[in-house]
A and B are shown apart, each in its own frame.
Chain A
Amino acid sequence: MRRAKNNSDSLLFNLCNYAFFTLFTVICILPFYYLFINTISNNDMSSRGLITFLPKGIHLSNYIQVLKIKGLALAAWISVARTLLGTVLTVVSSAFLGFLFTKKEMWGRTFWYRFIIITMYFNAGIIPWYITMMNLKLTNNFLAYILPLVISPFNIILVKTFIEAIPPALQESAEIDGAGYFTVFTRIVFPLITPIMATIAVFSAVNQWNYIVDTIFLMTDSKLYTLQFVLFRYLNEATALASLIRNSQGGITIDVSNMQTATSVRMTVSMIVVFPIMFVYPYFQRCFVKGIMIGAVKG
């Protein structure tokens, strides 16, 4: 009897659950789908707003045009390199530092923890930041993509919170066995925190992939341009144009009629930047769809 009630309950629950997630997912992908069909449709029809549900006059010339941009391959390589190296470094250091901060016996723990956390809210401005980077010889230097982003307070908080939720008995028994901090971290903690590491890997990879401020200000050598930077001007063209006009107070003496790229090309640009993320993300997922079995580790 009870079981039957549970089942019908469960059925209703599942039904609502599936319905909600289906609906929300559709809402999330519709605009993306809309952008996509506009990139492969006839540009003229697209700009007149005639493409709504199905692509018309399918062509790939937008993609070809964007992929033909000079220096794109090198920029893509730089982007991948910074994403790869930056992510690995950030994940490992966040995990290790987050772990250290769970150790109550650390000298000045609260102070140092706060020392790092409050930097999240610091904003000194572009110029002093630039001067600092210049003095560190980090202009036109690939390391500028990696080093400043190694310490991410937010990631450290996430790791620390995560580790604190794990029963402390596991670490303690290892410590009793005489294991040092480093061993405890690599042998016990590291395997347990894969879900949160996957999370910060996703966060920091996306951040690295999309970050553009450092390229704008620190790099003048086009060999170090990133994919986002090379494509950014297309996305930003309308804004840049508007600001150019706003700042040229004396009438409009620039011929702007030909200065804009078609909207569809700009949409293509954002597709090209988003696709790799969509492609890689599912691989990270495996790390946190299943719960961990602490018992299994213990045994």
Chain B
Amino acid sequence: MIQLYLTRLKCLIKNKENITWTFLFPIILSTFFYMAFTNIYSSLDFQSIKIALVDDQDYLYSKEFHQALTTASTSDAEDSIKLFEVIECDRSEAQSLLDDNEIIGYILQGKDMELVVKSSGFNQTIIKSFLESYTQTMSTLQTIGVSQPDSYPQLIEDISNPLKYIEDTSINTTSSDIVLNYYYALLAMATLFGSYWGLNEIINIQSNFSWKGARVNVAPVSKMKLLLCNMMAALTVHFIGILLLIGYLTFVLNVDFGNNFGYVILTCFMSCILGLSFGTMVTAITKNSENFKRSVLSAIVMFSCFLSGLMVVQMKYIVATKVPFMQYINPAHIITDAFYSLYYYDTYERFNMNVSLMIGYTLCFSLITYFAIRRKTHASL
């Protein structure tokens, strides 16, 4: 048995096609992801909006505005970001800075405030919203001040110390990172590529699929025992490949899999078995050529990974809302969700459910495979 296992292992390691698809392709794809997402990260970083405040004769007219702007331009917390970076200058200098794109816009103070910008955009809208909010608040204050002068000091106090009615509570200890979903889907794809190893093992053991299978079947050795041996070898190679991928993601691309690294490895192991058993089942139940079987496997794996967000991360959420049952029958989604739940949740309820589904599907696929290949003689070869 050990000798057969070792020989099969040697055979599999030298199978260039499978090694490329299960080892190299995910590593190459993850590198592309990394290169693409690095730009996304930098574009998502919020930069303080540079504005100029014109300190002309009207500068002192609005002390309140000056104070409001100063408040928005400073931050107590170390990690929070200032909304504005304010430069005080005269109008000609402000115009010059705007022309050189050094600032987004400049504000002219007076009875009616004016915002001068060069173009429309996200940052310009933020400045405009800030000014409108300020103007509205001031207008309200003035109205109340006229009609109810006694309550005016209290109102000022309230505005200075706004109450928070909604409190932010994180569901976990880690920060959310949408990009991680891509890597989870990539890992799901890589583990499900194990189905190609499963395909090879069934092809090589069935006399109605290959001459090698015929040769094995005339030998005095139990087909199931030999299949088990070969599957163990396939699992070994496939799991090593996935460990290499995890290592590459973690140590080279610095992808953070959270604090449950042991469970991440366990999930990988379970999904490798799931991938293998899926491949054996599809191969055993389809009657056509090896190329056809391979194409069917590729199509199913890629489609299930697409639905779990490999190409478009929103797809995962679209599926979850529009066709929720797909979450439970899509192997790639189950694997992706297991990684997701390990990263985002402090409890293991969802993870346990995903692992249970993986075990269930593996057993189901293995049983179907067993019934499909248990026959030792065939009607035709």
Q: A and B, one complex? A: no
